[in-house]
C-alpha cells in the first residue's frame, strides 16, 4: 500500500491541479498506477551497484503504456551495465542515442578496470518515434560536481537542466528513483510538472523539503 497523502497525489499533478507530488513507494510499482499516455518523460539516476541493474527493465516495462507517444526515457547507466541495460530496455522502447555526461571533478569512483573514468553515459530511449521539428540537441554536457548536501548519491542541477531539454515545455516528468529530488527541483524552476517516487523515507522527506522551498521561492 502506498503512503500517498492527498497533497502528494500524482493524479492531481496529471490533472494540472498541482505542480509536483512526492510519493513514498517503489518506483516500478507506482508507475503501474499511472494512467495511459500521461507522462512526457521519465528521467532517472539509479543506484550504481550491479544488484540494481534489473530496475532499468522493470521501469521500462511500464513505459510503452505510461509515456505519451514520442515521450523519452533518460537514465544514467554505469559503463559496467550497458550491455544488459540496452538489451533489457530495448525490448520495450526504441533506443535513440547515448549522451555524454563529462565529469572529471567530484567524488565518484575515478578508476575502474584499469580505466580512468572521465564521463558517464546517459542513455536515451523513446516511446515510438521522436517528434520531428524539435531542432538539434547537443549529445553531451559538462556536469558540475554535485554538492552531495542532500543525498550521498546526489546529482548536480546541471544534469537535471540538461535532461529537461528533451521534454516539451510544461510537460510532466517522472523520476521513479528520485533520491533527494534533484530532477524535481529543476522541474519546479523551469515550469515542468513533476512526480517523484522514492522508497527510502529520509530522502523522500528531503525531496519534499527541497521542492517546497523552491515553490516558496527560497
Instruction: Give yes or no for residue 199 binding ligand SAM (CB under 6 A).
Output: yes
Stretch that binds ligand SAM, among 98-106, 117-125, 136-144, 198-206 (CB under 6 A): 198-206
Stretch that binds ligand SAM, among 96-104, 117-125, 130-138, 179-187 (CB under 6 A): 179-187
Stretch that binds ligand SAM, among 3-11, 34-42, 119-127, 172-180 (CB under 6 A): 172-180
Task: Quote the strand ranges of 138-178, DSSP E.
Answer: 140-142, 172-175
Instruction: Give yes or no for residue 197 binding ligand SAM (CB under 6 A).
Output: yes
Stretch that binds ligand SAM, among 88-96, 118-126, 136-144, 178-186 (CB under 6 A): 178-186
Using an 8 Å Cβ cutoff, are 198 and 178 in contact? yes
Q: Which of 9, 26, 57, 84 forms a contact with ligand SAM (CB under 6 A)?
A: 26
Please report how close the Cβ of residue 30 comes to ligand SAM at its closest, in angstroms: 8
**How crowded is residue 91: how many other Cβ atoms within 10 Å of its Cβ?**
10
* Residue 22 CB contacts under 8 Å (≥ 6 apart), including other chains: 8, 178, 181, 184, 196, 197, 198, 204, 207, 208, 211
Stretch that binds ligand SAM, among 65-73, 84-92, 103-111, 192-200 (CB under 6 A): 192-200
Instruction: Give yes or no for residue 179 binding ligand SAM (CB under 6 A).
Output: yes
CA atoms of 192 and 173, how far apart (whole Å): 7
Comparison of 104 and 200: residue with beta carbon closer to ligand SAM: 200
CA atoms of 49 and 109, how far apart (whole Å): 12
Which helix (H) or strand (E) is 90 found in, with range?
none
Comparison of 171 and 196: residue with beta carbon closer to ligand SAM: 196
* Residue 75 CB contacts under 8 Å (≥ 6 apart), including other chains: 43, 44, 45, 46, 56, 59, 85, 89, 122, 123
Instruction: Give yes or no for residue 151 binding ligand SAM (CB under 6 A).
Output: yes
Please report how close the Cβ of residue 149 comes to ligand SAM at its closest, in angstroms: 10
Phi-psi region of 117 (alpha: psi -120 to 50; beta: other; left: phi over 0): beta
Comparison of 17 and 200: residue with beta carbon closer to ligand SAM: 200
Comparison of 172 and 197: residue with beta carbon closer to ligand SAM: 197
Q: Which of 64, 94, 147, 153 forms a contact with ligand SAM (CB under 6 A)?
A: 153
Instruction: Give yes or no for residue 188 binding ligand SAM (CB under 6 A).
Output: no
Look at the alpha carbons of 181, 184, 188, 190 in this order and tell me if their dihedral is positive or negative: positive
Using an 8 Å Cβ cutoff, are 178 and 31 in contact? no
Amino acid at each position: 500500500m502506498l503512503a500517498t497523502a492527498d497533497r502528494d497525489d500524482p493524479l492531481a499533478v496529471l490533472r494540472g491541479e498541482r505542480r509536483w507530488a512526492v510519493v513514498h513507494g517503489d518506483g516500478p510499482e507506482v508507475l503501474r498506477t499511472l494512467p495511459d499516455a500521461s507522462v512526457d518523460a521519465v528521467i532517472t539516476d539509479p543506484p550504481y551497484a550491479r544488484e540494481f541493474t534489473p530496475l532499468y527493465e522493470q521501469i521500462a516495462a511500464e513505459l510503452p503504456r505510461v509515456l505519451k507517444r514520442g515521450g523519452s526515457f533518460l537514465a544514467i547507466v554505469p559503463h559496467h551495465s550497458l550491455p544488459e541495460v540496452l538489451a533489457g530496455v530495448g525490448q520495450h522502447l526504441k533506443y535513440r542515442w547515448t549522451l555524454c555526461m563529462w565529469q572529471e571533478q567530484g567524488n565518484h569512483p575515478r578508476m575502474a578496470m584499469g580505466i580512468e573514468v572521465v564521463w558517464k553515459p546517459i542513455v536515451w530511449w523513446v516511446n515510438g518515434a521522436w517528434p520531428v521539428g524539435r531542432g538539434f540537441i547537443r549529445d553531451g554536457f559538462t556536469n558540475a560536481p554535485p554538492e552531495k548536501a542532500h543525498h550521498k548519491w546526489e546529482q548536480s542541477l546541471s544534469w537535471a537542466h540538461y535532461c529537461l531539454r528533451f521534454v516539451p515545455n510544461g510537460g510532466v516528468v517522472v523520476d521513479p528513483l528520485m533520491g533527494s529530488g534533484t530532477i524535481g527541483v529543476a522541474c519546479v524552476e523551469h515550469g515542468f510538472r513533476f512526480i517523484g517516487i522514492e522508497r527510502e523515507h529520509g530522502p523522500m522527506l528531503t525531496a519534499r523539503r527541497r521542492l517546497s522551498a523552491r515553490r516558496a521561492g527560497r
